[in-house]
Amino acid sequence: MTTYRITLLPGDGIGPEITAVARQLLEVVSHRHGFSLVFDEQPIGGAAIDACGEPLPASTLAACKAGDAVLLAAIGSPRFDALPRSQRPETGLLGLRAGLQLFANLRPVTIIPALADASSLRPEVIEGVDLMVVRELTGGIYFGQPKGRIEADGHVRAFNTMVYSDHEIDRIARVGFDLAMQRGRRLCSVDKANVLDVSQLWRDRVTAMSSDYPSVELSHMYVDNAAMQLVRAPKQFDVLLTGNLFGDILSDEAAMLTGSIGMLPSASLGSEGPGLFEPVHGSAPDIAGQDKANPMAMVLSAAMMLRVGLKQEEAAAALESAVDRALANGYRTGDLMADGCTQLGCRAMGEQLLAALEA
Ligand code: IPM
Ligand code: MG
């Protein structure tokens, strides 16, 4: 029997609660589909600061490199906001992305029919939305040098650098074009080329690559317009290709089309080595430990891990239909609650997902 090693990173806040649900479902679905999973649980983020004094211990990174895939829940806690940046939970996540060279972040946004009313947009605007945000993840202003904070002439100055090299743009653009080929063959590259030099280079490189993909319809959009179009007419998008910062912002916006950020999974991939699979949402410290979290983005991230990371398509589809079925049966976590539905906590939702999986 094939065995995969999964590095499990529960992290902070609601992370451990949603991880417990995903793990249980993964155990059932792997058994059912004839492979086995070995879990290696490691600390990251605030949990790692508490346990080891740093947000990404070398042992955690080494374990991630050694496994077949990494499943991460969420990191971050206001408890650490006052620490220097190098010791904050977020730095652990950025270090992991850089350490595994996960330059391509894929954030699919689809509307689950049972949740059409959960969106703040009208049902006819979001019905049929099926888009993919392709976000560059290891470059841009998140990692650019120089950066820092200096004091001079009685003033404090802080700065970051938004920088992309041709090869960084090319490799993420290729991911975008390839995905467009597998989907609706429309690629919209998002930048701020009317103002930023780095965006002009981005646009030039993406345009140059389009001659390799004559059947993909390429368009360019400024990021401010893209933010507007996402809520005005989201169906126009198939694949959205963009840099690290714009992708961070637009993917949260796109996530809300579904009604809750608690539904969206993501995959972060490099050119080799294990991928990282994590929900788009954060650690939700305000509801942590209260059994209120929505575990579905985590379960859908586990499904993405099965499909993209382990090539176990049937098991992935089984997890996804368990989510669909539990929702169709009227079960909701608080973030999605609607008239006539049954509100459940994280654990009880996990049990319904399990029941739906076994049905
Ligand atoms: C995300 C998150 C992270 C990011 C934070 C937690 C560092 O917002 O994955 O979108 O900004 O990339
Ligand atoms: Mg974000």
Q: What is the pLDDT, as a whole number, of residue 359?
A: 86
Complete domains list, the chain, with CATH = 1-100+274-359 (3.40.718.10), 108-260 (3.40.718.10)
Question: CB of 76 closer than 6 A to ligand 1?
Answer: yes
**pTM for the full model?**
0.94
- How many whole angstroms separate alpha carbon 163 and alpha carbon 165? 7
Q: Confidence band (pLDDT; 50, 70, 90) for 116? A: confident
- Token pair of 144 as six digits: 């650019």
Q: What is the pLDDT, as a whole number, of residue 282?
A: 93
Question: CB of 335 closer than 6 A to ligand 1?
Answer: no
Reported in sequence order, the residue ranges of 155-285 that DSSP labels E, i.e. its strands, are 155-159, 186-191, 217-222, 239-242, 265-269, 275-279
Mean pLDDT, range 22-38, rounded to an integer:
98
Say what percent of the chain tops pLDDT 70.
100
Indicate if 68 belongs to the active site: no
Indicate if 212 belongs to the active site: no
Question: CB of 12 closer than 6 A to ligand 1?
Answer: no
Question: CB of 253 closer than 6 A to ligand 1?
Answer: no
Catalytic hit among 12, 68, 191, 192: 192
- How many whole angstroms separate alpha carbon 60 and alpha carbon 327? 35
- How many whole angstroms separate alpha carbon 209 and alpha carbon 221? 17
Indicate if 117 belongs to the active site: no
Question: CB of 93 closer than 6 A to ligand 1?
Answer: yes
Task: Say if residues 61 and 70 touch (Cβ distance below 8 Å).
Answer: no
Q: How far is the CA of 226 from the centre of ligand 1 (A)?
A: 19
* Closest ligand 1 atom number to CA of residue 266: 9
Question: Phi and psi dihedrals of 131, rounded to 5?
Answer: -130, 165
- Strand pairing partners for 148? 159
CA angle 248, 215, 195 (to 5 degrees): 40
Mean pLDDT, range 108-124, rounded to an integer:
88
The torsion region of residue 148 among left (phi > 0), alpha (psi -120 to 50) and beta comes to left
Catalytic hit among 4, 142, 164, 213: 142
DSSP 120-142: SS-HHHHTT-EEEEEEE-SSGGG
Q: What is the pLDDT, as a whole number, of residue 259?
A: 82
pLDDT in tens, 47-100: 999 999 999 999 999 999 999 999 999 999 999 999 998 899 999 999 999 999
Looking up tokens 């209120």 gives 292
Q: Residue 107 pLDDT > 90, yes or no?
A: yes
